[in-house]
């Protein structure tokens, strides 16, 4: 066996029986200091560190490991790792003796649900224990293992999110190409329908001709509807960069409401607007922000019966402007609330399911945020947060400087 250099502590331990009470006290204090130092070092490490025996009983745990697997201090020395992490018991033998041919290093990635759902990467390494005379001790008798726990939840989530984003980007790119190509035959169909309509006007008003006119009008309406769906889709997946300029949100909201005034009136919807004339200016693309409010107001109208109420409120602090838009519509169930910003989700019979996705994308491009609260049978509230002009200009300047 290769000789190993003995530390001063090894030499002292070798003469333990010859120490007097004073030296023995000093030794105990030194060991206590070294233990405290090692524990302090282990507790600063972000990875979890466990020491288990060959039956899986946890004999040591640093602070990170107790947090990761929910281990209580009074359980150390009593509980097995398999009980704390049941998922691991399904992956490994409960008696580590069976694993020795596969060690010195065993690696596993597992998902745990307690104390919260997270992903862990485990490294299990055996100790090579030696006697004071540096003779290896039979591992079947005293085998201990170091278990390193590495939290890879964020890594897993970011990887899965990246894969999902790549899938979505690929699908949207493909769908965008298909949608663009569909526009050409639709345009041709529309031209021919217009020609047919002009020729039908020259015919007599016989029942047969009227029936043909009715069918052609239906086809024209459906072509227009398909063209609208394609336009909305292309706008959602290929948005143009915002053309930033000074925007007074009050003026913008009033402009959008004026364009929808007749429809609001026909439906008997009461509009209640409370916006401060001194609301801070923001930087934004006028047309894109008009689209945001148009989509939200449209959804609110579609969700309300006659006699509903649409409320618009605004507030601000030192950095942001907040707009709150509430309706007294049918509301959205808790299960469907998380789907609102997903493409093609809609509760409307004739909706294309892209409106709120467009809203979210425009708000993100403007450095803003959008939130939603809803309750079935009560209504829905949309929250918009915009960064004030002075704050956004400062942020843009600092980015340019870096």
Q: Does domain 245-401 have CATH number 3.30.565.10?
A: yes
3-state SS track over the chain: CCCCCCCHHHHHHHCHHHCCHHHHHHHHHHHHHHHHHHHHHHHHCCCEEEEEECCCEEEEECHHHHHHHCCCHHHCCCCEHHHHCHHHHHHCCCCHHHHHHHCCCEEEEEEECCCCCEEEEEEEEECCCECCCCCECCHHHHCEEEEEEEECHHHHHHHHHHHHHHHHHHHHHHHHHHHHHHHHHHHHHHHHHHHHHHHHHCCCCCHHHHHHHHHHHHHHHHHHHHHHHHHHHHHHHCCCCCCCEEECHHHHHHHHHHHCHHHHHHCCCEEEEECCCCCCCEEECHHHHHHHHHHHHHHHHHHCCCCCEEEEEEEECCCEEEEEEEECCCCCCHHHHCCCCCCCCCCCCCCCCCHHHHHHHHHHHCCCEEEEEEECCCEEEEEEEEEEHHHHHHHHHHHHHC
- Band the pLDDT of 94: cuts 50, 70, 90: very low
- Band the pLDDT of 399: cuts 50, 70, 90: very low
Cα–Cα distance measured from residue 234 to residue 238, given in angstroms and rounded to the nearest whole number: 6
Residue-wise pLDDT for 23-41, tens only, equals 778 777 887 888 788 888 8
| Cβ(388)–Cβ(281) below 8 Å | yes
Cα–Cα distance measured from residue 327 to residue 313, given in angstroms and rounded to the nearest whole number: 12
Which value, to the nearest 10 degrees, does the dihedral of the CA atoms of residues 277, 283, 287, 288 take? Answer: -110
Angle CA 227–296–172, to nearest 5: 45
Cα–Cα distance measured from residue 169 to residue 237, given in angstroms and rounded to the nearest whole number: 9
Q: Does domain 171-237 have CATH number 1.10.287?
A: yes
| Cβ(53)–Cβ(94) below 8 Å | no
Cα–Cα distance measured from residue 94 to residue 71, given in angstroms and rounded to the nearest whole number: 18
Report the topology of domain 45-151. Beta-Lactamase (3.30.450)
Q: 118-126 and 106-112 as β-strands: parallel, antiparallel, unpaired?
A: antiparallel
pLDDT of residue 360: 84
pLDDT at 371 over 60: yes
pLDDT of residue 402: 47
Domain boundaries, the chain: 45-151, 171-237, 245-401
Nearest in space to 369 (alpha carbons), one of 307, 266, 303, 292:
292
Cα–Cα distance measured from residue 135 to residue 131, given in angstroms and rounded to the nearest whole number: 5
- Band the pLDDT of 12: cuts 50, 70, 90: low
For residues 345 and 250, the model is more confident at 250
Q: Which of 58-67, 273-282, 309-318 has the lowest mean pLDDT?
A: 273-282
Q: Which of 41-50, 90-99, 378-387 has the lowest mean pLDDT?
A: 90-99
pLDDT of residue 327: 92
Task: Give the pTM.
Answer: 0.47
Percentage above 70 pLDDT, the chain: 72
CB under 8 Å to 104, separation ≥6 — which residues?
125, 126
Q: Calculate mean pLDDT across residues 86-100.
A: 55
pLDDT at 221 over 70: yes
The residues pairing with 246 across neighbouring beta strands, listed in sequence order, are 283
């Amino acid at each position: 066996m290769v000789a190993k250099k003995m530390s001063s502590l090894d030499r002292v331990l070798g003469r333990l029986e010859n120490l007097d009470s004073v030296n023995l006290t000093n030794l105990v204090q030194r060991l206590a200091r070294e233990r405290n130092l090692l524990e302090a070092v282990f507790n600063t490490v972000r990875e979890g560190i466990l020491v288990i025996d060959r039956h899986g009983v946890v004999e040591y745990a640093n602070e990170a490991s107790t947090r990761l697997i929910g281990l209580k201090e009074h359980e150390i020395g009593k509980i097995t790792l398999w009980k704390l992490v049941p998922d691991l018991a399904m992956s490994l033998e409960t008696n580590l003796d069976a694993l020795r041919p596969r060690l010195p290093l065993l690696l596993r990635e597992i998902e745990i649900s307690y104390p919260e759902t997270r992903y862990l990467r485990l490294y299990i390494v055996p100790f090579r224990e030696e006697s004071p005379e540096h003779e290896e001790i039979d591992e079947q008798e005293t085998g201990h293992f170091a278990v390193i726990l590495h939290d890879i939840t964020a890594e897993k989530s970011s990887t899965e999110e990246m894969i999902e984003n790549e899938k979505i980007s690929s699908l949207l790119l493909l769908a965008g190409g298909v949608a663009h190509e569909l526009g050409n035959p639709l345009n041709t169909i529309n031209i021919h329908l217009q020609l047919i309509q002009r020729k039908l006007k020259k015919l007599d008003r016989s029942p047969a001709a009227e029936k043909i006119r009715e069918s052609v009008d239906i086809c024209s309406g459906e072509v227009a509807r398909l063209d609208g769906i394609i336009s909305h889709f292309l706008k959602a997946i290929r948005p143009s960069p915002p053309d930033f300029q000074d925007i007074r949100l009050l003026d913008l909201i009033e402009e959008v409401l004026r364009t929808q005034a007749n429809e609001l009136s026909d439906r008997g919807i009461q509009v209640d607007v409370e916006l401060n004339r001194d609301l801070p200016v923001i930087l934004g693309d006028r047309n894109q922000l008009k689209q945001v409010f148009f989509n939200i107001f449209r959804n609110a109208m579609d969700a309300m019966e006659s006699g509903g109420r649409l409320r618009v409120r605004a507030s601000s602090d030192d950095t942001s402007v907040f707009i709150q838009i509430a309706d007294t519509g049918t509301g959205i169930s808790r299960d469907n609330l998380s789907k609102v910003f997903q493409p093609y989700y809609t509760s409307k019979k004739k909706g294309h399911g892209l409106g709120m996705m467009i809203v979210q994308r425009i708000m993100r491009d403007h450095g803003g945020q959008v939130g939603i609260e809803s309750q079935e049978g009560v209504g829905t509230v949309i929250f918009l947060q915009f960064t004030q002009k002075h704050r956004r200009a400062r942020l843009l300047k600092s980015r340019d400087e870096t």
